[in-house]
Structure 1
Amino acid sequence: MKGPEFLAGAAKAATYNMLLQLSIRAMTFFLNAVVLRYISKDMLGVVNVRLTLLYSTTLFVSTEAFDQAGLSKIEGKNWTQVVNLMWCSWPVSIIICGILSIVWLFALTPPDPEDIPYYGWGVVSFALSTIIAVLARPHYIVGQAHLFVKLRVLSVGLSELAKCLTVVYLVINFPNLGLISFSLGQIVREVTYTLMYYLTFYWYTSDKSKPEDFVFQTPRDFLPQKPKDKKYLDDYMVSLTGSFFKQSLLKQFLTEGEKYVMTLFNVFNFGDQGIYDVINNLGSMVPRFIFMPLEESGRLFFSQTLIRGKTYRDQSNESLDLASRVLYSLLRVVMLIGIVILVFGYAYSFLTLDLYGGAVLSDGAGPTLLRWYCLYVLILAINGITECFYFATMSQTQIDQYNQRMVVFSVIFLGSSLLLTSWFESVGFILANCINMCTRIAHSVFFIHEYYQGSTYRPLLGLLPSKSLLLSLAISFVITVTSEITFCCDAGIYYRLLHIGIGGVCFIAVIGTILLTEAELVSFVWEYLLRFKSSKQVKKE
């Protein structure tokens, strides 16, 4: 698949992923809104922080390194060897789940069994769900590499829906089950997810009308087997996986850092953890809905367009030009979205929390926490795009060097989070995350600068907003903050609507400024939207 075609496919994947993330967040908010009326805040904290952290840790550590190696663009890649490598992640998941389950059961302080019954069942079930999910990893990687976008969207969306329906039904009708309700929901989710991948590829490979050049022709090809005239595993991919595995441990700690600090150091009780998690989910809606799909599609595009470990001089001119334009545009897009969220989020954090959760969320530190989270969203967005380029192009030696630097990042984050939470409580987590992401951005930006040094490409200029945009944002910030002080939020509904209306007018003015001053970016996005549309029409014909 050529670069422009793959970019169109990646754009399609990003679009569907955004819709997927929106659906998942909507289901999660619905689930929280319902179950909060039937369970305690402590129960919410145990499920959404401690048990979800166990699941995310075991899944990420068990699969991230294999995913990175399997999706890398490598000369002479053999897909049978890729499948064999991906199956190695399953025994790894069993080992990881076993070790961390023991830690969660015996090393961490357990919740009160009278308030939170069946904690042991919860730990075992969430660990088991990881092992079930990893069974579909070979199918997932093949689907990602060959842009089975709808499959990924449907598998994740329907499995999440099955989980939500199961949990809501059990919590309402069997309130005495405690964590068993959430445990069964988690198992149902991963069984649904895995079955969808197996059934889809069983049907696809059995379909005689499938493309002849598809890498697998029968369902048996997704199982481990010895490739012809080659070793069972490719030595380079195995070495690459080892390097990524060291990195994945530290990357997971830095990604879920605040939850690890909560879990390991007990800085908050389970009830406070539950409230923090609700606000954190609300603040992370845009990163999950927009930035994460862009990051995933960007990483997939760069890994398939540029040869890993090669300098820009060793890349084809077409691939380098396209990759540079895409990197510039992605940085520009996330910078614009992030800075708009930062400006408008300050004046509308209190109103958002008050409308969503009432005084439980809007009283106290909630609005301040969400305002700082808006800054974190901007930093997080920039880090995601710079790192996806970095991880897709760096050599194995650079991967090993980065692993050492990740240790430094981890120490900085741990120290700053413990210090800042003692000073600013929950807001300290956001500040520590900002510091952590800024150090990682600095590292990735330096790599990108060095990568393009000597060439005519300057993709990092995508991070610099225009003066006219900064002026319009500054004016909008002053107007919306003044509006919040004057009309919001103890006044009646009409004053709140007036505050929302003022913000809407300012937002339209900012969007208009972006459309007028970002002609190159708009042209690029429009070009590939047309390419994406034409590719769909060709497929239909």
Structure 2
Amino acid sequence: MSSSSPQSQSLLSKSLASASSLVLLQLFSRLFTFALNQTLVRLVSPQVFGTAAIQFELLLSTILFLSREGVRNALLRAQPTSHSGNKSHSEEEKTANANADATLIANISLLPVLLGIPTTLLTTLLYIGSSSSQTSSQSHFRLSVILYAFSAFLELLSEPLYIRAQNELRFDVRVKAEGKAVVAKTATTFLVLAATRGGEEWALVAFASGQVVYAAVLFGEFGRVYYGNGMSWLLQKVKVDVHGNTQTKYFDTALLHLSGAMTGQSVIKHFLTEGDKFLVSRLSPLADQGGYAIASNYGSLVARILFQPIEETSRVFFSKTLTPGSDTTSIPREALETASSILLTLLLLFTHLFLLLLTFAPPYLPFAISILLPWRYHATSAPSILQTYVYYIPMMAFNGVLEAFFASTATPTDLRVQSRWMLLFSVGFVGAAVGFSQHLGLGDAGLVWANVANLLVRAIYAWVFVLRFFQSRDAGKMVQWKKIVPPPGVMVCFALTGVVTRWSWIGNVRSGVPLTIRGQMGHVVVGVVCVVGCLSACVVLERRTFQQLFAALRKR
């Protein structure tokens, strides 16, 4: 990375800083939420928890994803536009053009709010009309749905401000806003439940109230920073000079078309991302939906703390580094080297994560489940679902960063081709979900296995795109799959420790050792020693890789 330009290094520095900030935000918010959920799942029934955490969260994510995802991703690639062929602009003309660019981007950033109005109304009415009698008969169901819909639209109002903060690389604004919002949400939910003494009657309203407070605090914090600071909530006309001709327009045409393509694709992508929740909300009883929800919360805790910030930061970094402007072949060599190095380093780290989970999760999950999972959820699908997260979490990581690269560099033509493949993946996902859960008898765990298969084929598609992207720029050697595979010595170490930990677990099972901290202490000590051994092998045998990574980090 020594050959990287100062601009690339500055962007890398800011991206690394944002990644660390977002990881800390996710660590704080998820652990805080996890601690609260440990209390909430003991106060409410699996039926209520399943409705709030599966169905209401699905309603919320559908409104937000369809309204903002395409615009958000497109505007990350916004670059200054040259409005005239005359290169001898005065400072006043340059300032005017810069202001025009900013206004055109601001106009597009208002589209999620405009899209959110019909999306919120239609999605909410469709959900209420299609809800089963078992779901809709719960106390204050319609009021809770309306509150969730209102919170979704309220959150969309902060989207133009969020986009502005992202494009200005002001990640501190987002970290503070989301951090305060999470605290307010969890405190509100708990206080409403406590005020009603944990009664079932107001449980759904408690979750809905927490979500409204979250959206209100988020909007308030972004507004506190940007309100009155050149922010307008109305579309503004812009006069631009194009080759000597003055034109009046509201939107940058290229960004608008890209936003439209990405928004259209978001419908399919949302189904693939949330397909398991769609199916479990329709196929499973409410109690099992609660089990699925709590298993998802536990199983994806690491993914949300670590992978979500990495994916979001990668999307920002790749968008700014690899957006060439009008000439699609004009990406500097240094930018390609930096981007490939970051991408391969992340994939290598995720490979190590997969090895750690595959080695240590199966022999220690039963013990962890017995301690963390409330007793009333042991009779649901939660234990079997958690077993599948050993494979689901790494697939989320691989797919997340590869699709971040795709979203950052794909042209509208690439997006249209991917959309056709996504349709095929959707059909395959539904077939796999029904086959795994119904015909193979895997139950709700079959939905997670279908998701693993879905993420795998999507990751392969994105990896093929990465290879073509670099090969078309005579940089194919920068991205070789061998660079994301640990050396044989590391693989052997993980294999041996996998045998040792499973031998220790089988011995405890045969001896009838109870699933308590005291009873399993010897098994835990074996695991700690093996983890230390594996990590030591990684450091010793992959010293050069780590040295290169630390050298890049020191350049911050």
**Alignment partner of 1:50 out of 49, 52, 55:** 55
Shift of 1:366: 4.1
Q: Is the 8 A contact 2:294 2:382 kept in 1?
A: no
1:297-347 Cα offsets, whole Å, 9 max, x none, are 111100000026989853111111111111111111122123212221111
Aligned to 2:109: 86
Q: Is the 8 A contact 1:344 1:480 kept in 2?
A: yes
Shift of 1:367: 4.0
Aligned to 1:316: 332
- Paired with 2:547 and 2:146, the residues of 1 have a C-alpha distance of 52
**Structure 1 unmatched ranges of 5 or more:** 206-217, 533-541
Aligned to 1:539: none
Aligned to 1:132: 154
1:40-67 Cα offsets, whole Å, 9 max, x none, are 1111010000001000111011000000
Q: Is the 8 A contact 2:112 2:156 kept in 1?
A: yes
Aligned to 1:466: 487
Superposition pairs of residues 328-339 of structure 1, within 5 angstroms: 328-339=344-355
- Paired with 1:389 and 1:226, the residues of 2 have a C-alpha distance of 33
Superposition pairs of residues 195-274 of structure 1, within 5 angstroms: 195-202=220-227, 218-220=229-231, 224-229=235-240, 231-263=249-281, 266-274=282-290
Residues 84 and 354 of structure 1: is their aligned pair in 2 closer, same or farther, counting only changes over 3 Å? Answer: same
Superposition pairs of residues 417-428 of structure 1, within 5 angstroms: 417-422=433-438, 423=440, 424-428=442-446
- Paired with 2:174 and 2:351, the residues of 1 have a C-alpha distance of 27
- Paired with 2:185 and 2:517, the residues of 1 have a C-alpha distance of 36
Aligned to 1:346: 362
RMSD across aligned C-alpha pairs, in angstroms? 2.1
1:235-262 Cα offsets, whole Å, 9 max, x none, are 1111101110111111111111110012
Aligned to 1:34: 39
- Paired with 2:516 and 2:136, the residues of 1 have a C-alpha distance of 44
Residues 182 and 481 of structure 1: is their aligned pair in 2 closer, same or farther, counting only changes over 3 Å? Answer: same
Aligned to 2:467: 449
1:83-106 Cα offsets, whole Å, 9 max, x none, are 100101112011111111111111
- Paired with 1:111 and 1:4, the residues of 2 have a C-alpha distance of 56
- Paired with 1:62 and 1:238, the residues of 2 have a C-alpha distance of 14
What one-letter code is carried by the residue in structure 2 that aligns with 1:434? Answer: V
Residues 446 and 187 of structure 1: is their aligned pair in 2 closer, same or farther, counting only changes over 3 Å? Answer: same
Aligned to 1:191: 216
Shift of 1:528: 3.3
1:464-501 Cα offsets, whole Å, 9 max, x none, are 22211111111111111111122365255333121111
What one-letter code is carried by the residue in structure 1 that aligns with 2:399? Answer: N
Superposition pairs of residues 426-445 of structure 1, within 5 angstroms: 426-445=444-463
- Paired with 2:368 and 2:325, the residues of 1 have a C-alpha distance of 46
Greater Cα shift, 19-28 or 90-99: 19-28
- Paired with 2:144 and 2:500, the residues of 1 have a C-alpha distance of 49
TM-score between both structures, scaled by the size of structure 2? 0.88
Aligned to 1:304: 320
- Paired with 2:545 and 2:348, the residues of 1 have a C-alpha distance of 8
1:208-244 Cα offsets, whole Å, 9 max, x none, are xxxxxxxxxx334576423342521011111101110
Shift of 1:364: 7.1
- Paired with 1:167 and 1:105, the residues of 2 have a C-alpha distance of 23
Shift of 1:147: 2.0
Moved runs in structure 1, 4+ residues, more than 6 A?
309-312
What one-letter code is carried by the residue in structure 2 that aligns with 1:461? Answer: K
Residues 198 and 457 of structure 1: is their aligned pair in 2 closer, same or farther, counting only changes over 3 Å? Answer: same
- Paired with 2:233 and 2:7, the residues of 1 have a C-alpha distance of 25
TM-score between both structures, scaled by the size of structure 1? 0.90
Identical-pair percentage:
26
Q: Is the 8 A contact 2:436 2:447 kept in 1?
A: yes
Structure exhibiting the larger radius of gyration computed from Cα positions = 2
What one-letter code is carried by the residue in structure 2 that aligns with 1:503? Answer: G
- Paired with 2:306 and 2:339, the residues of 1 have a C-alpha distance of 20
Q: Is the 8 A contact 1:308 1:394 kept in 2?
A: no
Check if 1:530 corresponds to 2:546: no
**Alignment partner of 1:167 out of 189, 199, 207:** 189
Greater Cα shift, 172-181 or 150-159: 172-181
| SS of equivalent to 1:439 | helix
Shift of 1:186: 1.1
Check if 1:10 corresponds to 2:18: no
**Alignment partner of 1:413 out of 408, 412, 429:** 429
Q: Is the 8 A contact 2:148 2:208 kept in 1?
A: yes
Q: Is the 8 A contact 2:110 2:160 kept in 1?
A: yes
- Paired with 1:426 and 1:103, the residues of 2 have a C-alpha distance of 24
Aligned to 2:92: none
Aligned to 1:478: 499
**Structure 2 unmatched ranges of 5 or more:** 1-5, 83-100, 241-247
- Paired with 2:325 and 2:268, the residues of 1 have a C-alpha distance of 22
Residues 165 and 324 of structure 1: is their aligned pair in 2 closer, same or farther, counting only changes over 3 Å? Answer: same
Q: Is the 8 A contact 1:122 1:180 kept in 2?
A: yes
Shift of 1:374: 0.9
- Paired with 1:221 and 1:522, the residues of 2 have a C-alpha distance of 47
| SS of equivalent to 1:346 | helix
Q: Is the 8 A contact 1:311 1:451 kept in 2?
A: no
- Paired with 1:271 and 1:367, the residues of 2 have a C-alpha distance of 14
Shift of 1:513: 1.2
Residues 304 and 243 of structure 1: is their aligned pair in 2 closer, same or farther, counting only changes over 3 Å? Answer: same
Shift of 1:520: 3.7
Aligned to 1:391: 407
Aligned to 2:533: 509
Residues 363 and 99 of structure 1: is their aligned pair in 2 closer, same or farther, counting only changes over 3 Å? Answer: closer
- Paired with 2:459 and 2:397, the residues of 1 have a C-alpha distance of 10
